[in-house]
């Protein structure tokens, strides 16, 4: 190669390098200008793109496992607005049978459910399928099946239904105990009938109890939008695992207000497995009555702890009695888990199978002790006395009014009677009596305990009205209940 050709070649190489640097610089400046124009840095955009992609992947993974549940039931409507007035024995004596008639019509409702097994088991809320005469399940792929109720548990507001199908997209059930406040969660359901709606939020709180929704409460609170129709739907974590069954909202308008509640997946799983295996929910039983610890009580019992469940009584020959638990013991741990209050202990015991040997840590006389308790099966008859008589007080649960209950509910010492602990929705007394009412008289007969209550209620006829004296919220009130 000649000297002139060599020089020309070097010049061209240098020119290419310079041109590349200039173009690269211009492109870099252009990217910076674009970033400045949008006001969003490249790193932020990359993070949001990954976040969006992650949420979309979770949503696509879990949507097929959520179903639409529609139910139908027959409702009786009274045409005559004065019918109850004329049902009074005084008016019937002079005017005979009341005029008018009842009209029946079909009522439909919508809810959600979650497929938890490939062979067709579905978890939902008890209130979604309660009293339903027909249940239709619509899948994500638009197939529709008839649903059959396998079992329900009103105490946790859970129900298990089954459809005749195979190879369904079942969701993976996660460990709700591992959830942390602040974690991102998605709620999936059918609010207002809008199929497979997904909303996002965080875990606002855990272990919510004393909400007044169910007997056993350990709710996950979330700000993910939950509306009517979401009941029974899925609350999932970022791994696409079921961590809760959406159950209720706190609202003054009937719609979303930023507070929703979900039943933890661990509680739902225990209830579901018991229903599928035994056809009912079998709960563990310790055999104690308990109350929350207060600073005043802690001082009297020489206790430094601020959390726990104080034993107020031990049932004779119960698992607790056999293990050596005594009145005045403070239970601070159950099976290795911290006991915060009475609600948390009650849930732990209920979710532990009967026959399980557990370690219970207590504080007695200022010292910690560990006792081993073999749990029994919860005897329903000990929870509260229920009236099974076919009269106006059917479906009313009562229990003896103890000094501990009086103190807890701020009931004066002089008040005697039986405490109303629950009233079934279809009971004639559901609109007249309230939970925590103290029944003192029935038909002018004094009621001091559950034996008095049973004796008087057993003599009430099917079509007989009753007059009840109750103590409620600091005052006395006469109530009439008609059949």
Q: Which residues contact 457 (CB under 8 A, 6 or more apart)?
A: 387, 389, 391, 393, 442
Cβ-count burial of 273 within 10 angstroms (0-12 exposed, 13-18 middle, 19+ buried)?
Answer: middle
Report DSSP state, residue 4.
H
Burial 50-69 (b: 16+ CB within 10 A, else e): eeeeeeeebbebbbbbbbbb
Phi, psi for residue 101 in degrees, rounded to 5:
-150, 165
For 59, half-sphere exposure in the C-beta direction (CA atoms, 13 angstrom radius) is: 16
Whether 127 is catalytic is yes
Residue 267 near residue 216 (C-beta atoms within 8 A): yes
Q: Which helix (H) or strand (E) holds 159?
A: strand 158-162
- Pick the catalytic residue from 127, 223, 341, 387: 127
- Pick the catalytic residue from 70, 204, 209, 231: 231
Whether 300 is catalytic is no
What is the Cα–Cα distance from 155 to 391, expressed in whole angstroms? 24
User: Using alpha carbons only, what angle is made at residue 381 by residues 378 and 387, rounded to the nearest 5 degrees?
Assistant: 145
- Pick the catalytic residue from 157, 329, 341, 452: 157
Burial 420-445 (b: 16+ CB within 10 A, else e): bbbbeeebbbeebbeebbbbbbbeee
Whether 157 is catalytic is yes
Q: Where in the sequence numbering do the catalytic residues fall?
A: 127, 157, 231
């Amino acid at each position: 190669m000649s000297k002139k050709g060599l020089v020309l070649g070097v010049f061209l190489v240098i020119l290419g390098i310079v041109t590349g640097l200039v173009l690269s610089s211009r492109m870099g400046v252009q990217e910076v200008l674009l970033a400045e124009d949008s006001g969003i840095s490249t790193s932020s955009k990359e993070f949001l793109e990954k976040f969006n992609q992650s949420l979309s992947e979770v949503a696509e993974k879990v949507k097929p496992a959520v179903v639409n549940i529609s139910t139908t039931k027959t409702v009786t409507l009274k045409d005559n607005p004065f019918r109850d007035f004329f049902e009074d024995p005084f008016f019937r004596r002079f005017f005979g049978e009341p005029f008018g008639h009842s009209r029946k019509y079909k009522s439909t409702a919508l809810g959600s459910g979650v497929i938890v097994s490939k062979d067709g088991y579905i978890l939902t809320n008890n209130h979604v399928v309660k009293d339903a005469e027909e249940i239709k399940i619509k899948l994500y792929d638009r197939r529709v099946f008839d649903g059959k109720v396998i079992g329900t548990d009103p105490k946790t507001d859970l129900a298990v239904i089954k459809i005749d199908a195979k190879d369904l997209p079942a969701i993976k059930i996660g460990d709700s105990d591992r959830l942390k406040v602040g974690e991102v969660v998605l709620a999936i359901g059918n609010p207002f009938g809008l199929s497979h709606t997904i909303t996002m939020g965080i875990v606002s709180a855990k272990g919510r109890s004393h909400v007044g929704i169910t007997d056993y409460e350990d709710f996950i609170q979330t700000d993910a939008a939950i509306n009517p129709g979401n009941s029974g739907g899925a609350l999932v974590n970022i791994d696409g695992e079921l961590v809760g069954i959406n159950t209720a909202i706190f609202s003054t308008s009937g719609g979303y207000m930023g507070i929703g509640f979900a039943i933890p997946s661990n509680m739902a799983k225990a209830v579901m497995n018991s229903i599928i295996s035994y056809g009912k929910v079998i709960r563990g039983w310790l055999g104690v009555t308990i109350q929350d610890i207060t600073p005043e009580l802690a001082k009297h019992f020489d206790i430094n702890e601020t959390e726990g469940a104080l034993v107020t009584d031990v049932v004779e020959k119960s698992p607790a009695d056999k293990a050596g638990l005594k009145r005045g013991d403070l239970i601070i741990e159950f099976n290795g888990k911290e006991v915060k209050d009475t609600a948390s202990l009650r849930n732990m015991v209920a979710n532990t199978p009967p026959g399980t040997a557990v370690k219970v840590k207590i504080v007695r006389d200022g010292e910690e002790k560990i006792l081993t308790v073999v749990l029994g099966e919860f005897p329903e008859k000990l929870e509260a006395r229920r009236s099974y008589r076919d009269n106006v007080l059917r479906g009313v649960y009562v229990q003896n009014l103890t000094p501990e209950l009086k103190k807890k509910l701020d009931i004066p010492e002089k008040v005697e009677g039986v405490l109303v602990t629950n009233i079934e929705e279809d009971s004639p007394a559901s609109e007249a009596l309230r939970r925590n009412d103290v029944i003192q008289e029935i038909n002018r007969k004094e009621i001091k305990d559950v034996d008095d209550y049973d004796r008087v209620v057993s003599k009430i006829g099917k079509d007989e009205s009753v007059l009840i004296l109750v103590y409620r919220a600091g005052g006395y009130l006469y109530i009439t209940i008609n059949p």
